[in-house]
Structure 1
Amino acid sequence: MTTISKLIRASHQIDMSDIIREGHPTLRKIAEEVTLPLSDEDIILGEKMMQFLKNSQDPVLSEKMGLRPGVGLAAPQIDVSRRIIAVLVPNIEEEAPSQAYSLQEIMYNPKIVSHSVQEAALSEGEGCLSVDRAVEGYVIRHSRITLDYTDKNGQSQRMKLKGYNAIVVQHEIDHINGVMFYDRINENDPFAIKDGLLIID
């Protein structure tokens, strides 16, 4: 049975055993474009990736299934070298308490088409489901991005993101380009702050 055949079985739920870790060659490949119109296989895979994120953020299910909480997952992380990402960012903004998530989307062939000059980094650094160790330092990214992608209904979309949501999506797009988050940390001075760098708490 191929990796993807196993992943999209109706009875299978993605868990930590499906996620490959740093050092695996798939994580360093540039993933292949997804063919349009979307196949049932790619649609189901995207939905399974989103369900993993939901399960990982559920305190009861995550403990039961042994999941690490995640806000994003890219297909290469489950050893499928395709340009598919899922992002699920809980809403912590008080202005819109009725919305559970500030960003919830499955994206096929996502591509950043423009970005800000200003750069940003998370104050606590970044983690990754494919990295079982802490890597300290500022991961330098764009503070704002505009991206194009195809949604799970096969519709072309354009989205503008800033701050944390922009960083999450950039992290996942890096995965489909064979880039790990720590590639963006200054080796000589991990916490170097360049002029104009926005630090996000």
Structure 2
Amino acid sequence: MLTMNDIIRDGHPTLRNVAKEVPLPPSIEDIQILESLLEYVINSQNPEVAEKYGLRPGIGLAAPQINVAKRMIAVHLHDEKGVLHSYALFNPKIKSHSVEKTYILAGEGCLSVDEAIPGYVPRYSRITVQGTSIDGSEVKLRLKGMLAIVFQHEIDHLNGIMFYDHINQNDPFKPIEDAVPIDR
């Protein structure tokens, strides 16, 4: 089981590298890694398990964050209607996105970044993601709002991009034009 000790911190070189595609069909080892990413995110949201194992709550995790430079992500969260979205994907790609932007009013956080970094992180409001699930089936997801933000955050990790790279360094809270804020 993954713990916070398995998650590398900001400054580690793996976080800035572009991760490699996972050869498909995936190896047993790659399947186990992807399953462990999803297991961490699920366990981190369970208060008893999180406290017992010292897990910081998260809603997404990418393989580079556990020092595995491969294109794998796990996302586990409820949307604004309370519907659970739980995905573990190999080689996720953003196939299309909206012109309209969005951002979280409170800013973004990251399991690999220990301190709060204030500022708005502009993201696309709607995206279409394609990837391969643990069972090998092709997945195409049309996402909006918070779900779209989380997927963009995790896919950024696969490209060596940290959330704070998107923050306006001169004016972190400068309003983002034509963007819809999300209050979460």
Pick the TM interval, shorter chain.
over 0.9
Paired letter, 1:151:
S
Hey, what's the Cα distance between the residues in 1 that align with 2:3 and 2:166?
27
Tell me the residue number matched to 2:53.
65
Tell me the residue number matched to 1:25.
13
Hey, what's the Cα distance between the residues in 1 that align with 2:109 and 2:8?
15
Hey, what's the Cα distance between the residues in 2 that align with 1:110 and 1:76?
14
Q: CA RMSD in A?
A: 1.0
Hey, what's the Cα distance between the residues in 1 that align with 2:91 and 2:10?
23
1:191 and 2:179 are equivalent in the alignment: no
Hey, what's the Cα distance between the residues in 2 that align with 1:177 and 1:146?
17
Q: Deviations over 1:135-154 (max 9, x none)?
A: 00000110100011011111
Query: Structure 1: any 5+ residue segments left out of the alignment?
Result: 1-12
Query: Structure 2: any 5+ residue segments left out of the alignment?
Result: none
SS at match of 2:9: coil
Tell me the residue number matched to 2:161.
179
Tell me the residue number matched to 2:44.
56
Report deviation, 1:104: 0.3
Identity of aligned residues (%): 53
Query: Which of 31, 40, 43 pairs up with 2:28?
Result: 40
Structure ID, larger Rg:
1
Paired letter, 2:145:
G
Report deviation, 1:44: 1.0
Hey, what's the Cα distance between the residues in 2 that align with 1:194 and 1:19?
31
Instruction: Name segments (4+ residues, structure 1) moved above 4 Å.
Output: none
Hey, what's the Cα distance between the residues in 2 that align with 1:92 and 1:119?
18
Paired letter, 1:121:
Y
1:148 and 2:136 are equivalent in the alignment: no
Hey, what's the Cα distance between the residues in 2 that align with 1:85 and 1:169?
8
Tell me the residue number matched to 1:127.
109
Report deviation, 1:195: 2.4
Hey, what's the Cα distance between the residues in 1 that align with 2:41 and 2:139?
22
Hey, what's the Cα distance between the residues in 1 that align with 2:12 and 2:161?
12
Query: Which of 90, 103, 107 pairs up with 2:89?
Result: 107
Q: State the TM-score, normalizing by the size of structure 2.
A: 0.97
Q: State the TM-score, normalizing by the size of structure 1.
A: 0.89
Hey, what's the Cα distance between the residues in 1 that align with 2:97 and 2:113?
27
Report deviation, 1:38: 1.2
Q: Report the count of equivalent residues.
A: 183
Hey, what's the Cα distance between the residues in 2 that align with 1:63 and 1:194?
37
Q: Contact conserved, 2:122 with 2:176, CA < 8 A, in 1?
A: no
